[in-house]
């Protein structure tokens, strides 16, 4: 069964057509990433799924529920989802542990506060006031608040902005752990390496339209695209594009009688493919 089902979704702001007929299906247990340049319609789409914005047309089902519905059912539904928004919360005079404790009280089945603090790497800062946290630490707190309610579905909007490389890797491990525990995740990110590391499938959205939905490895024909073999030949760096890199490398190895100087074999990165798809610029 699909966890999220979106058909023909449309949303305009005056004459800005932000989302122009989006179809999406996200499966149970999946990490699904929405990629697109600034203004592509990601936040609009995600906030409609979260029940924060109203759609103009189309149908939306999230955990079998229409997020636009209000009332008691909506509160039960909210208990089953977790949200990490782009902008950080503003509760400067509370400590980390007080804040997480406070938020855990909103949920019927919260995770253990200590475990959550540990898993987002804030153990050393649990007694610190929020206003004294660094940007990356505040972001980790946002993530902690997103997962404290044991959500079945977690919305992550630009979760690692401001993280240092080590914190980002630790965060990826946390997300992978959440998936292993059965949490489905909708991830919005501008970091293509993050999508590649985490997502089972990605959708590229541009100007309000989904361009492709695929695994990161297959996006834009990536898996079957040509490889580039590069090596040093005397003072020159040479390269060759090929469908058969092994054959090229083998021939070079014979020519060089063994080790090929500065050999590099590459295929287009997810970022190369993505930039090509959206027209080369992040508008």
Minimum CB–partner distance for residue 190 and ligand ATP (Å):
7
Among the candidate windows 12-20, 114-122, 163-171, 262-270, which touches ligand ATP by CB under 6 A?
Answer: 12-20
Contact with ligand ATP (CB under 6 A) among 39, 58, 136, 220: 39
Minimum CB–partner distance for residue 270 and ligand ATP (Å):
17
For 61, residues 6+ apart whose C-beta sits below 8 A from its C-beta are 2, 4, 5, 6
Nearest to 63 by CA among 110, 34, 28, 33: 28
Angstrom distance (rounded) from CA 184 to CA 30: 5
Count of all residues that appear for the chain in the document: 283
Among the candidate windows 41-49, 62-70, 139-147, 253-261, which touches ligand ATP by CB under 6 A?
Answer: 41-49
Minimum CB–partner distance for residue 208 and ligand ATP (Å):
7
Backbone φ, ψ for residue 74 (5° rounding): -65, -35
161 class by beta-carbon count within 10 Å (0-12 exposed, 13-18 middle, 19+ buried): middle
> Would you count residue 18 as binding ligand ATP (CB under 6 A)?
yes
Among the candidate windows 40-48, 143-151, 196-204, 240-248, which touches ligand ATP by CB under 6 A?
Answer: 40-48
Minimum CB–partner distance for residue 42 and ligand ATP (Å):
3
* Pair 216, 196: CB distance under 8 Å: yes
Residues 77-136 that bind ligand ATP (CB under 6 A): none
> Would you count residue 52 as binding ligand ATP (CB under 6 A)?
no
> Would you count residue 153 as binding ligand ATP (CB under 6 A)?
no
Angstrom distance (rounded) from CA 228 to CA 160: 31
Using CB under 6 A, list all residues that contact ligand ATP: 13, 16, 18, 36, 38-44
């Amino acid at each position: 069964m699909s966890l999220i089902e979106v058909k023909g979704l449309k949303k305009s702001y005056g004459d800005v057509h932000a989302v122009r007929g989006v179809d999406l299906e996200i499966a149970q247990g999946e990490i699904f990433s929405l990629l697109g340049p600034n203004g592509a319609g990601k936040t609009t789409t995600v906030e409609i799924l979260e029940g924060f914005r109203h759609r103009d047309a189309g149908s939306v089902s999230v955990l079998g529920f229409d997020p636009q519905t209000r009332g008691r059912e909506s509160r039960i539904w909210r208990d089953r989802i977790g949200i990490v928004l782009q902008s950080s919360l503003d509760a400067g005079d509370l400590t980390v542990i007080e804040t997480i404790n406070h938020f855990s009280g909103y949920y019927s089945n919260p995770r253990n506060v200590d475990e959550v603090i540990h898993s987002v790497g804030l153990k050393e800062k649990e007694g610190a006031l929020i206003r004294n946290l660094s940007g990356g630490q505040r972001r980790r707190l946002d993530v902690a608040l997103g997962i404290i309610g044991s959500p079945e579905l977690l919305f992550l909007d630009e979760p690692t902005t401001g993280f240092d490389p080590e914190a980002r890797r630790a965060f990826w491990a946390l997300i992978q752990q959440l998936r292993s525990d059965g949490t489905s995740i909708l991830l919005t990110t501008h970091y293509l390496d993050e999508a590649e590391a985490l997502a089972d499938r990605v959708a590229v959205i541009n100007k309000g339209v989904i361009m492709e939905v695929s695994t990161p490895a297959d996006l834009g024909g990536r898996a079957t695209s040509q490889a580039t073999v590069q090596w040093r030949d005397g003072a020159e760096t040479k390269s060759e594009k090929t469908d058969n890199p092994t054959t090229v490398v083998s021939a070079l190895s014979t020519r060089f009688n063994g080790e090929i100087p500065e050999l590099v074999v590459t295929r287009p990165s997810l970022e190369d493919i993505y930039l090509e798809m959206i027209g080369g610029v992040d508008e």
